[in-house]
Structure 1
């Protein structure tokens, strides 16, 4: 058994291994597809296993003509519009509809009503097209940071990517985030500077920003002829030709020569073969330069920069020329029979099936599981094994996706991205409850399966509530406010359930600050056997750093209280400590010491002593000077140094304590202790303060006493709530 491991393994992803390992026969549809006399070009290998196979393998030419790419960028950069143009010019769609278009149709890749209404991508959408005899699988990912998990999922299975940059807005904060993700997943990429016809367009400024902010080793492979309203076309620097007509305008000949020389110099710095020719002053042909760019791009040492507005044909040519085919990317599996030893996959249809389930989606016909195939062939009707569960399942239906449309296929091979029905996968998050019914529970369970960053939990301190109350105390968490707003709206639209949304309840605690004695007699006569139990002792705070939160000690000497009643007394004190009298939260960090008491030969019972303990605790609690404790979080945030003052000022406003401030390159790393109650909405605030460039992590540190004013406010709110009940 093996599982894919391109980079860090995420829990919600599942690999599938076929029980059939034979390649398709020569007369199969795949073999027929691969048997054509196709011209192919490959300048880099990247797989030791591939070198051991026959040069004229039946699958090689088809694999060379396959590209798996993603289109990624910041929000409103034009990703979905670019995908729409690609689909139109490759013949996959016959009409172009704008994002938030006036015709009300919307872009093809925005299949959800919410996406079309808001004009943003919410989910990754997969499609495919054909260009110059090549099959191109495309994943269009969201740009908003709240849906960054969709970008992560896409990058995990892509061989190459297009980073879209706006010629007016330039490199944005989310551009930095997306570029960081592409580096993490080691994805070769092109850059595409679009919107050259917009007022204020300056592609050379954007290229400079990419080099400075993204640390790209990049150069333009095209030069625009005019900008804004004067934009007329592009000059291809690799082939020194104009895209629109045959001749380069004389007024930009010098600029073209300068930029072509710059392109050769930048590529020469990372490609030895081209450097040798460049340093020897040998003439560099278009073929030599193209091959060098391809080698440098695939090895991730260079990023070619394309430009344009709506015409995407040159960009598509660049995808074919410079981005890798599946066999030029190294992928690894973990052999579970050998202590998860790392195994390099051949990336070919020869061998057992190894596929990664990277995305789940609830379709009209059941759960749709998206697969990237890394090795072998999958066929409709095959039995495959889920290596996480060991279960064998049959593939009843195999499809290729075109946004929300599906095309049934009989089989698919390594390098392709397909989807299957009937293969049950799930994220690592548990459902709300195994027996909860209704549309609300169904919606939450579905969204958890589809999105690992959407978490659902129940307020553990809600007490024994009926089902309605239980649902009202359901807590959802995600990547940001927009992320959660979208899911609440989807619950309303798709499942016809309205949810009341409010601020989550903070798990406050109470404790005592000084010793207080108790002496309580519980005595009750009701005609029959009565109740009698007396307990004496004291309550005190536990020492700081104590490993326990509640201690009970029996220090009675003699038989004032029979030993068989002591467990009931301890149980009574524990039960009383579950709800303090200040704000009704559990009482922690206390020691109860029992020193004396009294019993009755007939009327004493476990119940009597348990009640005596409960009332004794309430009797002495106020005298022990109780205080409210709040959870304090250890917050570590990173932001550019220019925003350091603003960020620290905001932490101080949230009553945080700065405990560290370090420098990492151009960034400041601030460590602080901040009350959790003051951290709600912080992700949105941090983005606003840092132009989206700040990020933070937060983990529980300890419970600490609140200030007097906060405690008074909490106590008054609690009393008002109790009075209203």
Structure 2
């Protein structure tokens, strides 16, 4: 039996809005160089979305469709998440290809926030690697069901069985093979489908013809053993699930206990139920580069990953100042519910700012007005586009479950848009960890300051992990050079020291300026003393005056003067910290005293303490929390000791450990 894959896709049909059951929003995530972009390229080719395939770093220098940035094609890596859509067996599939480098983790985070399912790509040689662990944590955070695809079966040293055991041990997945390889490394010829007990061979120039055949005689015993293992793994979780939710459906667990053999449809239904609840991970095999195993993966996306209606999406409604309630969104594609969408990514395109959105509820049409719930700004929709990497296709309307883009919308990542502002709803934003590394950056030439400012403003808006500020401590401020023609000088990270007193120091300062007319008169008396060690990052101001020697309206001026002088210390010019300013007494003049006079008197008092006090420089200590697999504990402790770190505690759980150090 032969099946010509390319005939299954027609883009005339795509403009018809399929019902909810025929839509899949998926992401392709993995460790670097596991073959995500190559796999996406094959998917687009087999579904008829592109006419020819190009390798990520091929000899033709064209590069993969999904790597549209010049830097991506040059390096052969994915930097930004690229969105596309395609059609497979009358199902619309929206695909986001994400980066594997740890540097671009936020791109994966943004993609998973708006997806319903994911394909976790693993290398048959490398197996579960560091970034695989990060991606797995992100999928868990957003409760995204996934199927695993073990790629690169053609590589020397490929061992899918070892990768499966790592999936179970390192990622704690209840996983089992749905397929077995027919040969490995250079002798890979096809795969065996354990669910329907058939061998699949990929023929034609580009593997576009899938031929079904009998399972090879030499593999029949292993096929039955692995199928039985699959049934056991699924029945362990499907039994409980069925009793709770699916009273009428034939349960795989019951069939297994009664020693009946489940049918192909029973097994598929049970795998789907278990996968949707993240209780089971189906494992598929193939080699995208050699055009094997991609079409069955597409079938598995339809069979086992959820449609938008099978995922509960929530918005938050404010009911008090700090209280919110969760509201379940209506995923129906009938357009009756009011529109609600989330902006999950911003990009500067050829025609201005491009904003990627996911529609969670209702319908949005060209010409509609939408409101940003954060800023309350109204935006009229002049153009709606669907994306295919860097190319765009105009559409007149989008429905719940669609991923699309808008032009000229002023917003930030994580903003919620609605057509009815009275809804008072907003989506939870994307989880973004705080930055841990800061560096100074300067334009190499003063004439480039305009481009420098534009680039910084754009990156700050596009990338939630990029934070920019002018550092008063250090007086200073890759893609800038490439996209804005602005070469920059990247400085070494500088240490922000602090200055403090070692012992209390008294002050008594009179500020007097009387030369006819309204003058200035103020006197401040008190003590500047160090705070306890646990408060050495703080500044405190305490008014301990009794009586009316200093009228209360002048106290804010004294505090302002103290905090102004704390911006620059005596020894190195760094900020003061860990100090308590105790105002004990003073004097004022009925006419000449003012808030400004007391401000200046306080500045004079601090200068007095600079001269008379015992000052020292404080070096910052970073509190570090390191989480890693147990086998690396010794190496990490060694690295921390080498950096003069002091261990303050340890913790361990499920093959992982956490170190706390300073």
**TM-score > 0.5, shorter chain as reference:** yes
CA contact (8 A) 1:168 1:202 kept: yes
How far apart in 2 are the matches of 1:497 and 1:234? 52
Offset, 1:550: 5.9
Distance 2:261 2:326 in 1: 44
Is 1:652 the counterpart of 2:609 in the alignment? no
Aligned to 1:452: 464
Deviation at 1:571, TM superposition (A): 8.0
* Candidates 16, 32, 38, aligned match of 1:33: 16
In the alignment, structure 1 segments of 5+ residues that lack a partner are 1-28, 35-60, 463-468, 475-488, 675-725
DSSP-derived class of the 1:368 partner = strand
Q: Which residue of 1 aligns with 2:344?
A: 358
**Structure 1 range deviating more: 212-221 or 649-658:** 649-658
Instruction: Give 1:149-160 correspondences, 5 Å limit.
Output: 149-160=106-117
Which residues of 2 match residues 554-573 of structure 1 at below 5 A? none
Q: 1:332 to 1:568 in 2, by over 3 A?
A: closer
Structure 1 residues 195 and 533: CA distance shift in structure 2, 3 A: same
1:422 aligns with 2:408: yes
Per-residue deviation at 1:127?
A: 0.5
Asked if the contact 1:641–1:667 (Cα under 8 Å) also holds between the matched residues in 2, the reply is yes
TM-aligned CA distance change 1:397 to 1:553, over 3 Å: closer
Distance 1:371 1:326 in 2: 15
Q: Which of 227, 230, 239 is residue 263 of structure 1 equivalent to?
A: 230
Secondary structure class of the residue paired with 1:270: helix
Partner of 1:100: 57
Pair 1:296-2:296 in alignment = no
Return the offset for 1:308. Answer: 0.6
Shift of 1:280: 2.2
Q: Distance in 2 between matches of 1:106 and 1:581?
A: 57
Counterparts in 2 of 1:558 and 1:321: CA distance versus 1, 3 Å: closer
Shift, 1:278, TM fit: 2.4
Q: Aligned-pair distance for 1:491?
A: 0.9
Among 314, 327, 330, which residue is 2:296 paired with? 314
Alignment CA distance shift 1:419-1:523 (3 Å): closer
Tell me how far 1:369 sits from its aligned partner.
1.6
CA–CA distance in structure 1, aligned partners of residues 37 and 19 of structure 2: 28
SS of 2:83 mapped into structure 1: strand
Distance in 1 between the 2:654 and 2:458 partners?
A: 42
Q: 1:670 corresponds to which residue?
A: 659
Shift of the 402–624 alpha-carbon distance from structure 1 to 2, 3 Å rule, reads: same
Report the Cα distance in structure 2 between the residues aligned to 1:145 and 1:124, rounded to whole angstroms.
13
Contact 1:277 1:284 in 2 (8 A): yes
Match of 2:255 in 1: 277
2: CA distance, partners of 1:31 / 1:194: 29
In the TM superposition, 1:239-254 aligns within 5 A as 239-244=196-201, 245=211, 246-254=213-221
Shift, 1:539, TM fit:
6.0
The whole-number CA distance in structure 2 between the counterparts of 1:297 and 1:231 is: 28
Q: How does 1:36-51 map to 2 (within 5 A)?
A: none
Determine if contact 2:170/2:655 at 8 Å carries over to the other structure.
Answer: no
RMSD (CA atoms): 4.0
Q: State how far apart, in whole Å, the 1-side matches of 2:37 and 2:344 are.
A: 21
- 2:174 is equivalent to residue 191 of structure 1: no
Q: 1:280 to 1:437 in 2, by over 3 A?
A: same
> Using the alignment, how far apart are the partners of 2:553 and 2:330 within structure 1?
71
Deviates more, 1:302-311 or 1:245-254: 245-254
Which residue number corresponds to residue 576 of structure 2? 587
Contact 1:383 1:393 in 2 (8 A): yes
Kindly state the Cα deviation for residue 195 of structure 1 after the two structures are TM-superposed: 0.4
Q: CA contact under 8 A between 2:121 and 2:148: conserved in structure 1? A: yes
Deviation of 1:518 after TM superposition, in Å, equals 7.5
The CA distance in 2 between the partners of 1:566 and 1:641, in whole Å, is 56
DSSP-derived class of the 1:500 partner: strand
2:539 corresponds in structure 1 to 549
Secondary structure (helix, strand or coil) at the match of 2:16 reads helix
Per the alignment, residue 376 of structure 2 pairs with 390
Shift in alpha-carbon separation, 1:225–1:69, aligned structure 2, 3 A: same
CA distance in 2: counterparts of 1:341 and 1:565, whole angstroms: 45
Partner residue, 1:704: none
For the residue of structure 1 that corresponds to 2:487, the secondary structure is: coil
SS at match of 1:455: coil
Counterpart mapping for 1:70-89 below 5 A = 70-89=27-46
Distance between the aligned counterparts of 2:256 and 2:558, measured in 1?
Answer: 89
Offset, 1:125 = 0.4
1:341 is aligned to 2:353: no
Larger RCO (CA within 8 A; separation ≥ 6): 1
**1:103-126 per-position Cα deviation (integer Å, ceiling 9, x unaligned):** 221111011111122222111100
Quote the Cα distance in structure 2 between the aligned partners of 1:557 and 1:343. 57
Which residue number corresponds to residue 5 of structure 2? Answer: none
Q: Is the 8 A contact 2:175 2:233 kept in 1?
A: yes
Contact 1:535 1:616 in 2 (8 A): no
> What residue in structure 1 maps to residue 480 of structure 2?
491
Find the counterpart in structure 2 of residue 636 from structure 1.
625
User: How many Å apart are 1:614 and its aligned residue?
Assistant: 6.4
In the alignment, the residues of structure 1 paired with residue 400 and residue 26 of structure 2 have an alpha-carbon distance, to the nearest angstrom, of 15
Q: Kindly tell me: are residues 537 and 164 of structure 1, through their superposed partners in 2, closer, same or farther at Cα, counting changes over 3 Å?
A: same
Equivalent residue number for residue 709 of structure 1: none
Q: Does 2:133 correspond to 1:176?
A: yes
2:48 aligned with 1:66: no
User: 2: CA distance between counterparts of 1:285 and 1:206?
Assistant: 28
| 1:457 to partner: Cα distance | 1.1
State the secondary structure of the residue aligned to 1:632: coil
Against the structure 1 CA distance between its residues 85 and 542, is the aligned structure 2 distance closer, same or farther, given a 3 Å change threshold? same
Find the residue that maps to 1:633 and give its secondary structure. Answer: coil
Paired with 2:192 and 2:106, the residues of 1 have a C-alpha distance of 37
Q: Choose which of 403, 406, 412 in structure 1 pairs with 2:389.
A: 403
1:657 shift after superposition: 3.1
Which moved further from structure 2: 116-125 or 325-334? 325-334
The alignment's TM-score, normalised by the length of structure 2, stands at 0.78
Q: Is the 8 A contact 1:394 1:422 kept in 2?
A: no
CA gap 1:671/1:565 in 2 versus in 1, 3 angstroms: closer
Deviation digits for residues 293-335 of structure 1, max 9, x if unmatched?
A: 2222222221111001022111111111211222222222334
Q: Tell me if structure 1 keeps the 8 A contact 2:54–2:62.
A: yes
CA offsets per residue over residues 520-544 of structure 1, 9 Å max, x none?
Answer: 99999xx999x99999988652452
Structure 1 position 337, deviation (Å): 7.2
> What is residue 180 of structure 2 aligned with on the other side?
223
Residues 346 and 413, structure 2, Cα contact 8 Å, conserved in 1: no
* Other-structure match for 2:444: none
Moved more, 65-74 or 373-382: 373-382
In the TM superposition, what are the counterparts of 1:606-617 in structure 2 within 5 Å?
A: none
Give 1:619 deviation, angstroms. Answer: 6.4
Corresponding position: 1:439 with 2:427: no
Q: Structure 1 pair 380/406, CA: closer, same or farther in 2 (3 Å)?
A: same
Q: Residues 550 and 252 (structure 1 numbering): CA distance in 2 closer, same or farther, change over 3 Å? A: closer
Q: What is the CA distance between 1:633 and its match in structure 2?
A: 3.2
Match of 1:327 in 2: 309
- Contact 1:521 1:532 (C-alpha < 8 Å) held by counterparts: no
Q: Structure 2 vs 1, CA of residues 533 and 424 (structure 1 numbering), >3 Å: closer, same or farther?
A: closer
| Separation in 2, partners of 1:620, 1:136 | 70
**How big is the shift at 1:583?**
0.9
Map of 1:370 onto structure 2: 356
CA distance in 2, matches of 1:31, 1:165: 31
Distance in 2 separating the partners of 1:606 and 1:189: 65
